[in-house]
Structure formats: C-alpha cells, structure tokens
Homo-oligomer: A and B are copies of this chain.
C-alpha cells in the first residue's frame, strides 16, 4: 500500500488536468469551466487531498504585504508631513484587504539596494511603493532585475515598466504664483526643497516658469533639504539680501511655518508686510495665526491610491497609470496685497 500523502500532482493526474489548473481552482481564481472545476474538486475529495495553507501561500507567491523603503535621515523623516499621512493612506487601502505594510528606513544607497534585495529574496513583500523618485533612478533597473513589482509615487523622468500614480504639484505652485501676482506682488522669492529629488526639482522649475509667464524674475531662490530649520535659515538669508521680497513661496509647510516665525521675530508682519505660501497641506497649517495659505497635495489620498494600484497590479498582472486631482492652492490668511511702496 502506498503510504505517501497525496500531492497536487496526483489530483491533477486523476482529474486529467494540469497542476496549475488544480491550483487555480483551490485559489478561487476565475476562468475554469464548471465541469472541469467539479472534476478537480471530486478528484481531490477522492484522494483526500487538501491544499496546505503554507504551501498555498508559497504557490500563490503572495506575502500579503507591500513594501516601502525610505532613504532619508530618521530625524528628517520624523518631522516630514508627507510620510505619516502617505503611510496612513496606504494603510487604509491595506487594512480592507488584510494586508500589511513592511517599512524600512535606510541611511544610504548601499543599504537601500541591500534592503530591496533582501525583501525580494525572502519574498517578504509582493511589491513596493517608490517614493522620493530621483533623476535617472537606479531603483528601476534594480527592481527589474529582482522581478519585484512596483508603483511609482509621482512621475519618473524616464519611461519605465511600472504604473505611475501621479499627483501634479506643478499646477499648485503655478496657482500660488498667479495668486500672489494677482494681489500685486512683484518681488517674490522661493524657498525650495531638495533638488536631488524629482519633486524638489519640479517644484523649483514650476515656480520659475510661472513667474516667467508674468514676465518676472525671482528676488531670490534658495535650495534646502525641505526641513523647518533649513527654511528658517533661508528666510534669514533672503531678508539680508539687497532686494526685500514682499512674498515668499515655500516648497514645504514646515519651512513655511519656520519662515513665518523668522519674519515675525524680525518685526515683519504676515501678511501685511510679507505674504507666505506653503506646500503640503499639513493639518497644523490651518491652526496657525495667521492660518497658512498653502498648496494642498492630499498625501493620504495619494497613499491610498498608490497602494490600490499596486494591489491591482499584483492581482491582474497589469494596472493603468492613475492621475490624481492636482495639488490645489488653499487660500487662508497668510497672503494679502503687498505693502505700499515706500515714498
């Protein structure tokens, strides 16, 4: 007597189908004709075969987890308004599907590469969300080599194999500039972010283009790392310049908040003497005095959409790009017409 436990191969043989088809039926996938389905279930029943839960998860190749690898300094990450909201959005999509987020914070390029390799080698995640896209991003060839599906959070600067979930921030920056110029501002300065990141670069470009469309040059442009401390330093620098701006456009809300405080501390009243716009739409912005006029990007919705598209890609083998509503200017109390020119 054969004491072997029956295998999926035995079931397939008895039902006269492939092992793949047996797997299909037991993983509740559509597309198997009803008579075949019944024949497979009957064969399994006769042989006393049941799919093993662990084998099942291995055969479906699903870890039921998405990965997010963030290459940033921990203290910068801790103070950034984008990631907590983005992750909360990802979680709202995952919770419904009983999936989890595997989060990894890495200090440098080597650790980043090692982490993606490890996630792929140990099948810890089914796919990853790519944030902080960089110029000619080296993660694209790496993930292609690893066979790890991904979704781009934002539009990359190279054509890639991964679906893109984009939220246009250029439109919001244009609106901020148009709003300020419409109020009568001509001396506008820009406190930008990290131009090593595509969104930092794109926001800077959008600001300059929007200003140029009005025939204006910026009074000053300062690149930073997006942090509040850097925003404060940038404003000190701009206030020491030859031409004082009447409006400051910031590439992040924490920088705008810190910049606003520097202005107030130096006796520059906002918005009477100088207007300020932020970028993010962080919750605290509406609770400041003056409440912060800002470009709202809804990172929570972005996270939710990115996770949803990645899950679709994993389910169906393909997913379309998704364009979210553009970041939009939210008018609050930190912008007003410029002061009358002296004399």
Contacts and interface: CB of A to CB of B under 8 A. Distances in A.
A274 interface: no
Contact of A104 (B78, B91, B119): B91
A292 to B, nearest CB: 10
A103 B106 contact: no
Given A78-B85, A284-B257, A288-B257, A103 B105 contact: no
A130 interface: no
A78 to B, nearest CB: 4
Interface residues of A, number: 62
A107 interface: yes
A17 to B, nearest CB: 23
Interface string A71-94: 000110111100111011101101
- Copies per complex? 2
A59 to B, nearest CB: 12
Given A287-B232, A288-B261, A100 B100 contact: no
A29 interface: no
A229 B288 CA distance: 11
A124 B65 contact: yes
B77 A88 contact: yes
A68 to B, nearest CB: 9
Interface in A5-28: none
A227 B287 CA distance: 11
Interface string A95-122: 1001011111111000100110011001
Contacts of A54: 54, 58
Contacts of A80: 84
A77 B103 CA distance: 16
For the residues of A in contact with B, the DSSP-based class is: helix
B300 A287 contact: no
A73 to B, nearest CB: 9
Given A78-B85, A84-B83, A289-B261, A102 B100 contact: yes
A70 to B, nearest CB: 8
Nearest to A259: B287
A258 interface: yes
B65 A88 contact: no
A180 interface: no
A105 B88 contact: yes
Contacts of A291: 261
Contact of A79 (B57, B257, B262, B284): B284
A54 B110 CA distance: 25
B287 A264 contact: no
Interface in A232-275: 232, 254, 257-258, 260-262, 264-265
A283 interface: yes
Contacts of A100: 102-104, 115, 119, 124
A228 interface: yes
14 contacts: A4-B4, A54-B58, A75-B283, A78-B299, A79-B284, A91-B104, A95-B111, A100-B103, A100-B104, A102-B103, A254-B284, A260-B289, A261-B287, A262-B289
